[in-house]
Structure 1
Amino acid sequence: METLASFQAIVAEVKNREKKTVVVAAAEDHDVLIATVQAKQEGLANFLYVGAEEQIRQLAREHQLELAEKEIVHEPDMQAAGKKAIDLVKQGRGQVLMKGKVSTGQILGMVLKDEDLKQKVDNPFLSHVAIFEWQGSLKIFSDAALNIAPDCDQKRKIALNALHVARKLGINAPKMAFISAVEKVNPKMPSSVDAEQLAALDWEGAIAGGPLAFDGAMFAEAYAIKGVPSPVEGKADILIFPNIETGNVFYKTLTWMMKRDMAGIIVGAAIPFILTSRADSARVKFLSIATTLYLTK
C-alpha cells in the first residue's frame, strides 16, 4: 500500500469512493456546518443533521450555507439529539457518527453504554488519535483528548490504536516513540519507567523506542546531539504521550500557534465516530471528517 503523505491525498482518495452518510449529533454549531457543507460540496459524503432545526437553519443562513429540506431531523434537546443520531446510524440511515454541540462526555457515554453497539466489539478501548502534516509526511500522536492518565497497559492499547491508523495510512514499518522528558529511565519520573517497558514489547513490525523526549523523538539532529541510542533515531512517525495534559497541549500548540492542518479521530468505537473539540476550526473539522471516512471500510 502506498504511503499517504498529505491530507490532500486523503481527500482525493475519499472523493473516489462510494459516498457514506454522516449523522451529526446536535448540529447547532457554525464550524460543524461549514465543515460538513464543504465536505458535501467536495463530494466526500452526505450528511444528516439532528438538532434544533430552526437554529441550524439560522446558522446556515448567517454563513450562506445551503441545507436541503430533508437533511435535518428536528430534536431540540441536546442529549436526545445525541441518542437520536446514534439510533439513525444503527438503523442504517448513516454509517458514521459526528459530534456537534453535544458534550464529549455525553456522546461518548451514549456510544459506550448502548447495548446494541456493545455486541459489535468485545472489550472496546477508545482512544483519540491526532494526525498532522510535517515536512512532507503525516505524523500521528495520541492521546490528546480522551484517556486522562493511562496506566502502562492502557498506553499499550493507545499505541495499538495509533499503529492501526498508521498502517491504514500506508506506514508499514512505523517508528513509534514513547514520550517522557528524558532519554534515560528516572525512577522519580513514572512516564520514563512506563516508556522503557512499552518500548521493549513486540509491536509486530513497528520500531519502538523510549523513553524519548520530544526533540530526540522527532528531530535527527537533536537525537545525534543527545547521543542516547534509540531505534527511532529522531524520525518518529508516532508519538505516544504519557498523559492527556501533554498530548492536549501539543495538539493546541499545533492548531492555534502553528496553524498546522490537523485531524482528530476516535479509534476503537463500535461505529466510525468523528469527535472534535468545540474550539477546533472548520478546517480541522473538515480534515477530521475526511480522515475518518478514509479509515472507514
Structure 2
Amino acid sequence: MSDSFQTLIDRAAGGAAIPTAVVHPCSVSALEGALEAGARGLIVPILVGPQHRIDALAAETGADLTAIERVDTAHSHESAAKAVELVRTGRAQALMKGSLHTDELMHEILVKESGLRTERRLSHVFALEIPKQPHLFFVTDAAINIQPDLLTKADIVRNAIDCVRALGIETPKVAILSAVETVTPRIPSTIEAAALCKMADRGQITGGLLDGPLAIDNALSVEAAETKGIRSPVAGHADILVAPDMEAGNMIAKQLTFLAGAQAAGVVMGARVPVVLTSRADGPAARLASAAIAVLIARAREASLAADLKA
C-alpha cells in the first residue's frame, strides 16, 4: 500500500521517466513544478507555450532550459491544442496543466475528432495525505462532473479504482457517500449508491470493494460504524471516498486541506493519458506529487497493454 506522497515519488523515480507535455507553464510555480519533476527523474518535460514568456520566467528564476524541449505557441488555447497533439502523435504519454484555465485544457481533450476521449467519462481524483493518518485518501469527483448521473458515477468509480490500483493498492475499498447510511428515497444519492454497489456485485464495476450509502463518519471511523451497527469491510477502512456531486467532493477535499492540514495532489482519469490537474495556486510540491501519480498510472497502462498484446 502507498503510505505517503514520498513513497509514490520514490517509486515513480525508480523507473523510466515519462514524456509529458506541460501545457502553458507561464507562471513560476508551473515552470518550477515541471522542471523539478524532470530533475527528479519522474518526467521528461516538453514545455508547450509562448517561448518568450517561458524564457523570461527561466531567466527570472535561474532555470536552465538548454536541454528542455519547448514547443512555441501564441496563447493558452494553442498551448492546449499543441499539447493534445503531442499525445496523439505519441510524443507524450501524459499531460500536465500549467497556468491556464482548466476549461481550456478540458475543451481540447474532449474535442471529438482531435482530442483524447475514450469510452469513459473524464473525472478528477484528489489524493490527500493527512497528518497522523496511516495511508492516503482519495476523493472523487471534486473538479469536473458537477451533478453526475448514475452512469457517470459508475465511470467516476471505475476511474478512481484504476488510479488507486496503479498506485499499489490491489483492491481499494470504495465508500459511496451520502448524508446517511440507509437507503432513503427522499435522498437520491442513497439510491444511486445502492445501485453502484449492485453494479459491482454484477461485475459492471470491477477491481474494488464497494459499499454505500455511507455517511462520511462511518466511512472513515470504525467506531462510528460499529456504533451504528454497520458491518462492512469498507466502513471505517475506506481508501476512496466517492462524493454525491462535485460540490460535496470539493468541500471534502478543501476542508481536509485547510482544516486538517492535508497535502493534496490531483489527476484526471478517463482520457487516453493521465492529466496532472493542479490549481494555478498550487506550488511545486503539489505538482511533484501529482506528477508521480500520473507517471505510475502511465506505467500501469503501458504494462497492461503489453500484457494484452502477449495474450
Q: What is the alpha-carbon distance in structure 2 between the residues aligned to residue 19 and residue 270 of structure 1? A: 18
Q: Quote the RMSD (CA, aligned, Å).
A: 2.1
Partner of 1:101: 99
Partner of 2:120: 124
Partner of 1:34: 32
Q: Is the 8 A contact 1:117 1:270 kept in 2?
A: no
Amino acid at match of 2:261: K
**CA shift in 2, pair 1:87/1:240, >3 Å:** same
Q: Is the 8 A contact 1:217 1:232 kept in 2?
A: yes
**CA shift in 2, pair 1:146/1:66, >3 Å:** same
Partner of 1:19: 17
Partner of 1:226: 228
Q: What is the alpha-carbon distance in structure 2 between the residues aligned to residue 88 and residue 155 of structure 1? A: 30
Partner of 1:252: 254
Amino acid at match of 2:24: A
Q: What is the alpha-carbon distance in structure 1 between the residues aligned to residue 42 and residue 238 of structure 2? A: 30
Q: Is the 8 A contact 1:21 1:96 kept in 2?
A: yes
Aligned-pair CA distance for 1:220? 0.9
Aligned-pair CA distance for 1:237? 1.2
Partner of 2:152: 154
Q: What is the alpha-carbon distance in structure 2 between the residues aligned to residue 205 and residue 246 of structure 1? A: 25
Partner of 1:89: 87
Q: What are the Cα deviations for residues 38-58 of structure 1, in whole angstroms up to 9, with x where unaligned?
A: 112212122111112222223
Amino acid at match of 2:178: S
Matches within 5 A, 1:273-288: 273-288=275-290
Q: Is the 8 A contact 1:23 1:88 kept in 2?
A: yes
Amino acid at match of 1:27: P
Partner of 2:78: 80
Aligned to 1:266, the other structure's residue is in SS state strand
**CA shift in 2, pair 1:192/1:4, >3 Å:** same
Which of residues 208, 211, 215 is equivalent to 2:210?
208
Once the two structures are aligned, what percentage of the paired residues are identical? 36
Q: Is the 8 A contact 1:124 1:270 kept in 2?
A: no
Q: What is the alpha-carbon distance in structure 1 between the residues aligned to residue 217 and residue 180 of structure 2? A: 10
Partner of 2:242: 240
TM-score (norm 2): 0.87
Aligned-pair CA distance for 1:197? 2.1
Partner of 1:181: 179
**CA shift in 2, pair 1:43/1:254, >3 Å:** same
Amino acid at match of 1:261: Q
Q: What are the Cα deviations for residues 42-89 of structure 1, in whole angstroms up to 9, with x where unaligned?
A: 121221111122222232333333322653222131101111122223
Q: What are the Cα deviations for residues 167-188 of structure 1, in whole angstroms up to 9, with x where unaligned?
A: 2223223221110111122222
Aligned-pair CA distance for 1:240? 0.6
**CA shift in 2, pair 1:256/1:31, >3 Å:** farther
TM-score (norm 1): 0.90
Ranges in structure 1 where 5+ consecutive residues have no aligned partner: none
Does structure 1 residue 143 correspond to structure 2 residue 141? yes
Aligned to 1:200, the other structure's residue is in SS state helix
**CA shift in 2, pair 1:114/1:151, >3 Å:** closer
Q: What are the Cα deviations for residues 141-187 of structure 1, in whole angstroms up to 9, with x where unaligned?
A: 21011111001121111111111122222322322111011112222
Partner of 1:261: 263
Aligned to 1:296, the other structure's residue is in SS state helix
Aligned-pair CA distance for 1:228? 3.5
Q: What are the Cα deviations for residues 6-40 of structure 1, in whole angstroms up to 9, with x where unaligned?
A: 22221112212112221111110221112112112
Q: What are the Cα deviations for residues 64-116 of structure 1, in whole angstroms up to 9, with x where unaligned?
A: 33322653222131101111122223333322222212221121111111525
**CA shift in 2, pair 1:51/1:154, >3 Å:** same
**CA shift in 2, pair 1:206/1:46, >3 Å:** closer
Amino acid at match of 1:124: R
Q: Is the 8 A contact 1:255 1:261 kept in 2?
A: yes
Count of residues in correspondence between the two structures: 293
Q: Is the 8 A contact 1:24 1:47 kept in 2?
A: yes
Amino acid at match of 2:278: T
Matches within 5 A, 1:192-207: 192-201=190-199, 202=201, 203-204=205-206, 206-207=208-209
